[in-house]
Structure 1
Amino acid sequence: MYPSAPPDAYNKYSAGAPPTALPPATYQLPTMNTPRTGGGLTRWSTGLFHCMDDPGNCLITCLCPCITFGQIADIVDKGTCPCLASGTVYALICASTGMGCLYSCFYRSKLRAQYDLDEGDCPDFLVHFCCEHCALCQEYRELKNRGFDLGIVFFGKVGPRTWTGRGEVSLERP
Structure 2
Amino acid sequence: MEAQHLHGKPRAEGEWSTGFCDCFSDCGNCCITCWCPCITFGQVAEIVDQGSTTCGTAGALYTLISCITGCGCLYSCFYRGKMRAQYNIGGNDCGDCLKHFFCELCALTQQYRELKNRGYDMKLGWAGNAQLQQNQGVAMGAPVFQGGMTR
TM-score above 0.5: yes
Contact 2:42 2:59 in 1 (8 A): yes
1-structure distance, mates of 2:30, 2:12: 27
1:55 aligns with 2:33: no
- Where in structure 2 are the equivalents of 1:34-53 lying within 5 Å? 34-35=12-13, 42-53=14-25
Q: Alpha carbons of 1:53 and 1:163: their partners in 2 closer, same or farther (altered >3 Å)?
A: same
Instruction: Note closer, same or farther for the CA distance 1:88–1:169 as it changes in structure 2 (3 Å cut).
Output: farther
Cα shift at 1:66: 0.1
Query: Match of 2:119, SS?
Result: coil
1:95: how far off?
1.1
Segments of structure 1 that go 5 or more residues without pairing to the other structure are 1-31, 36-41, 155-159
Shift of residue 171, structure 1, vs aligned partner: 6.8
In 2, distance between residues paired with 1:169 and 1:94?
34
| Greater length-normalized contact order (CA 8 Å, ≥ 6 residues apart) | 2
Which structure has the greater CA radius of gyration?
1
**Which AA in structure 1 matches 2:58?**
S
- Normalised by the length of structure 2, the TM-score is 0.76
CA displacement, residues 22-47 of structure 1 (integer Å, 9 cap, x when unaligned): xxxxxxxxxx7123xxxxxx210000
* One-letter identity of the residue aligned with 1:64: C
Residues 120 and 129 in structure 2, CA contact (< 8 A), matched pair in contact too: no
Pick the structure with more helix per residue. Answer: 2
Runs of 4 or more, structure 1, over 2 Å off, are: 160-164, 168-172
Deviations 1:48-74 (A, max 9, x none): 100011000000000000000000000
Q: CA deviation at 1:93?
A: 0.6
Cα offset for 1:109? 0.2
Distance 1:147 1:85 in 2: 23
Partner of 2:63: 91
Aligned-pair RMSD on alpha carbons?
Answer: 2.4
Partner-residue secondary structure (3-state), 1:85? helix
Q: Percent identity among equivalent residues?
A: 52
Superposed counterparts of 1:21-170, under 5 Å:
33-35=11-13, 42-119=14-91, 123-153=95-125, 160-161=127-128, 170=134
Shift in CA distance, 171/102, structure 1 to aligned 2, threshold 3 Å: farther
For structure 2, which runs of at least 5 residues remain unmatched after alignment? 1-9, 137-151
Q: CA deviation at 1:119?
A: 1.3
Instruction: Give the TM-score, by structure 1 length.
Output: 0.66
Matched residue pairs, number?
A: 126
Distance 2:105 2:89 in 1: 19
